[in-house]
Structure 1
Amino acid sequence: MRLSDLIKQGPEGQDPKKKPDPKPEKPAEETPKAEEDAFRLSKVADFRTPPPEARPAPARRPSGEEAPLAPPSLPGAPQPQGRAARPRAEEETAAPPPDFGGAGRPQRPAAAPSPPPAAATPPAAAVPPADAAAKPRRRGSMLMGPEPGTSGGDDLTSQAGAAQRSRLENPYRPLRQKAIEYVTGAFQAVGKSTQLNLEDGEDIIFECLEHPDALEQLYALAVGQKDTTNSLALHLVNHATYSLKLGRGLKWSPERLVRLGVAALLHDLGMCHVPQHIRHKEGKLAPEEMAEIRKHPEYGLRIMLENFGEPFRWLGEALYHEHEREDGRGYPQGLLGNEISEYAKIIGLADVYEALTHNRPHRKRLLPHKAVQEIIQTQKASFHQRLLKVMLEELSVFSLNSLVRLNSNAIGRVAQTVPGQPLRPVVQLLFDGDGNEISDERMIALKEFPLLYIVDSLDETEVPRS
């Protein structure tokens, strides 16, 4: 059975690949439909153009349209006073949002608030110290200000830009390590009650997006690495990679992708306020321990509001809604559909996918296409239908330059993907079944060899050393 057959029974009960009946031409003056409504899996391209100079105003959709992944509505909140220890039942039940005061969600400011001027120091006298000089930022921050526009998808998804690299080295491993160190530093800052730094995280995500092949290379590292440390920072970097691929498949603008990536990197920051003996406990958690774990989204919202205030409410909501689900069976509030932050919807799906594609004490990891199949079979109602379709396109394939093992025990690197047959790419063989290195450039198209297929994705450390 093809993976795409698993989602045929969508909201309209039709096959997504079935061509619609021809319709009469519309009058020239009729307003065209928004690009996101005309979404098709085939209409994806590449991140080749720089971000637009002017940001469009946020597009508002009527409430009657099919679950449009719209920004959520959450009661407004000033900074909370401390941590409220609110007991929760083990069952997933609806709960009211934390009471931070305020009658409604305030409007986001049009620009970042200006810092207070230095007292009794004229501007002309301010001279930066020599050791504090840093390279100038090449752009303005994308994290402040109003929500970026949702229309006008950019050219973001072609895999054709992947250049020929060395046979084994992934050139974006240092960027991945930089992201891991940033997340680790963010957790340490919260633990020490010092100010969080969002600019470094923004720069990391921007670097992931400005190079055409960076995201595919990072994806290959994420699905290929066998993590034995259970590092939370490493998992969050994986979440950011998967979230960016999903956002790219939705044809989001670069501004919104940067916001999505930063939110994904920090979405479990509330775990800092969960006691360590619960976070690191091996075995099944007691009901009261599980109730404490389920408070971490609320803690994440508080951290963001305490550190950055209302201009970053969108980020707090992304952390607060990460475990909400489309059918209302999530927590902590049991929100439905459009009530959920669209950033949180994507991060939530990436969270499930990350868990399935990595080893856990009770099971082995799944290959990407098997993880996608598991999600569609068991959690189809938990996620938006359009998001599931994009997952099929972006997360069920073996990315360019990823290392794979064949059932013959040969090891190769994916050299070319085949449209319509994502599980049978063209593979450049690097080692034969006995572990001997193949020096010449030997390609094999798996679609032409039905008895050969991929059985595992590999990390560079698992490749034989000569």
Structure 2
Amino acid sequence: MNAETQEFRISVHGLTLDMFVARLDRPWIGTGFPLEGLKITSDDQIFQLQRLCAFVHVDVSRGRSPDLRYVSFNDDAMMRHARGEDEIEALRRTRWVPTTGFDTELGDATQAHVRLQAGINAVMDDLHNGGKLDLDKLSEGIDTLVDSITRNPSAVPWILELRRKSDYSYQHALGCSVWAATFGRHLGLEKEQLRDLAMGGLLCDIGKVRLPDELLARQGRLSDADWSLLHSHVTESSRIVEDTPGLSAGVIEMVAHHHERHDGSGYPRGLRGTQIPIFARIIGLIDSYDAMTSTRPHAPSRAPHEVIMELYQCRDTLFQAELVEQFIRTSGIYPTGSLVELSDGTVGVVMSVHSLKRLRPCVLLLLDADKRPLPEFRTIDLSQIEEDVQQRPLSIKGSLPRGAYGVDPAQLFLD
């Protein structure tokens, strides 16, 4: 039992009506049940759970208590999960609430993106030319970014996705910074911690400026020697940030350890679990997400939904399960900027994600069911609208790769 959340691990044969199932013994994704948990209201739900699982975790503070004959006590895995949740909850210092609407915040979000992009360009040019890291060129952009994200967490990620360009190094730095601050906001961190996370995301791969340009631009499969040289960017990044006055110890830790992995398979030191500083664990997760959703010289971009699924499958191996689960609560199954097809055949781009209904985001529709551009784009909030015009259930059918059906949101909105 987890005393903090009052959860019990029970056999599915002990399930009854009015129980609240908080967790399964398998991922929620693919089960058809909501990720937020399930209040059992029908025998059919019990049957489905018994078909899918051997054990589930029920929260007695939100539903009926189980018969003790079906309770599994002293479960080491459950206790580890509880400790992980406690560690993350201990980070929370505040609960941010949006203070501006999405449309209102777009202007400031655009300015935050422009300022931070300019800072990144200036700093990386300095380093390419043998200079040192000038924090003053980044500080204003970081502050503007964090301010915008604390007011509304959807606007900057939206602008980020629209403005992605082909230069991976610059765009990846910006993407990690944006997602790190957005994730930190969700976790309830204070502004100074959000600033550190944003700076850590920005600088985690800065050492790549010291690697050969031909390596970074090499297309196709990399050799073992290429990967070994590429891995050295962590050491180079650490040298740069350790030689930069004004950076916090936390940022230096993030840069040094963001390629360590939960199961000890990472580098450079093979740290595992809580040996890895928690902010470095966060940046490691963010770095992987943004890399896989970006176009890299040696690998094509993948749809955000696919990457979320892969991260979920890597719970408790490459990444700490509790952090993955919290990141999905931040990004949604279909993150901001994702191109998606709805069940009625229309195509749109995700504008914002609802914290309680992550499978039903707000979508800006671009194409009709025949994949022709709509005469006027329109917004549909799937958390409020559950049927299409023919009164059939309306939902997201699936995600699409960037450029599907010739759709380039950047050209549509930024020209």
Give the TM-score of the pair, scaled to structure 2: 0.67
Q: Once the 2 structures are TM-superposed, how far is the Cα of residue 241 of structure 1 from its aligned partner?
A: 1.2
Which of 63, 66, 71 aligns to 2:83? It is 66
Structure 2 counterpart of 1:194: 131
Whether the aligned pair in 2 keeps the contact of 1:183 and 1:266 (CA below 8 Å) is no
Which of 139, 145, 154 aligns to 1:216? It is 154
Whether the aligned pair in 1 keeps the contact of 2:94 and 2:189 (CA below 8 Å) is yes
Whether the aligned pair in 1 keeps the contact of 2:308 and 2:328 (CA below 8 Å) is yes
- Quote the Cα distance in structure 2 between the aligned partners of 1:315 and 1:357: 24
Q: Once the 2 structures are TM-superposed, how far is the Cα of residue 434 of structure 1 from its aligned partner?
A: 2.8
Cα 1:370–1:223 shift into 2, 3 Å: farther
Unaligned segments of structure 2, at least 5 residues: 1-26, 38-53, 63-81
Which of 272, 295, 308 aligns to 1:336? It is 272
**Greater percentage in strand:** 2
One-letter amino acid of the structure 1 residue matched with residue 190 of structure 2: S
- Quote the Cα distance in structure 2 between the aligned partners of 1:351 and 1:215: 18
Q: Once the 2 structures are TM-superposed, how far is the Cα of residue 342 of structure 1 from its aligned partner?
A: 2.3
Whether the aligned pair in 2 keeps the contact of 1:268 and 1:296 (CA below 8 Å) is yes
Which of 283, 299, 309 aligns to 1:347? It is 283
One-letter amino acid of the structure 2 residue matched with residue 66 of structure 1: R
- Quote the Cα distance in structure 2 between the aligned partners of 1:275 and 1:439: 44
- Quote the Cα distance in structure 1 between the aligned partners of 2:269 and 2:351: 45
Greater mean alpha carbon deviation, residues 182-191 or residues 235-244: 182-191
Which of 170, 173, 196 aligns to 1:233? It is 170
Q: What SS does the aligned partner of 1:406 have?
A: strand
Q: After TM superposition, list the pairs within 5 Å mapping 1:306-325 onto structure 2.
A: 306-308=243-245, 312-325=248-261
Per-residue Cα deviation, 1:77-102 (whole angstroms, up to 9, x for no partner): xxxxxxxxxxxxxxxxxxxxxxxxxx
Whether the aligned pair in 1 keeps the contact of 2:201 and 2:287 (CA below 8 Å) is no
Which of 386, 399, 403 aligns to 1:447? It is 386
Q: Once the 2 structures are TM-superposed, how far is the Cα of residue 189 of structure 1 from its aligned partner?
A: 2.1
Structure 2 counterpart of 1:395: 331
- Quote the Cα distance in structure 1 between the aligned partners of 2:356 and 2:153: 21
Per-residue Cα deviation, 1:342-383 (whole angstroms, up to 9, x for no partner): 222111101111122234567654443332111111454222
Per-residue Cα deviation, 1:161-189 (whole angstroms, up to 9, x for no partner): 324359xx765234213222212222222
Q: Once the 2 structures are TM-superposed, how far is the Cα of residue 452 of structure 1 from its aligned partner?
A: 5.0
Q: What SS does the aligned partner of 2:103 have?
A: coil
Which of 119, 137, 140 aligns to 1:203? It is 140
Greater mean alpha carbon deviation, residues 181-190 or residues 294-303: 181-190
Which of 137, 142, 161 aligns to 2:100? It is 161
Larger relative contact order (CA 8 Å, sep ≥ 6): 1
Structure 2 counterpart of 1:285: 222
Whether the aligned pair in 2 keeps the contact of 1:67 and 1:337 (CA below 8 Å) is no
Cα 1:362–1:233 shift into 2, 3 Å: closer
Whether the aligned pair in 2 keeps the contact of 1:410 and 1:434 (CA below 8 Å) is no
Q: What SS does the aligned partner of 1:437 have?
A: strand
- Quote the Cα distance in structure 1 between the aligned partners of 2:219 and 2:299: 15
Unaligned segments of structure 1, at least 5 residues: 23-64, 72-149
The size of the alignment, in residue pairs, is 339
Does 1:250 pair with 2:187? yes
Give the TM-score of the pair, scaled to structure 1: 0.61
Identical-pair percentage: 20
Does 1:463 pair with 2:412? yes
Cα 1:68–1:318 shift into 2, 3 Å: farther
- Quote the Cα distance in structure 2 between the aligned partners of 1:206 and 1:4: 39
Which has more radius of gyration?
Answer: 1
Greater mean alpha carbon deviation, residues 246-255 or residues 451-460: 451-460
Q: What SS does the aligned partner of 1:329 have?
A: coil
Which consecutive segments of 4 or more residues in structure 1 shift more than 6 A?
A: 4-8, 68-71, 439-444
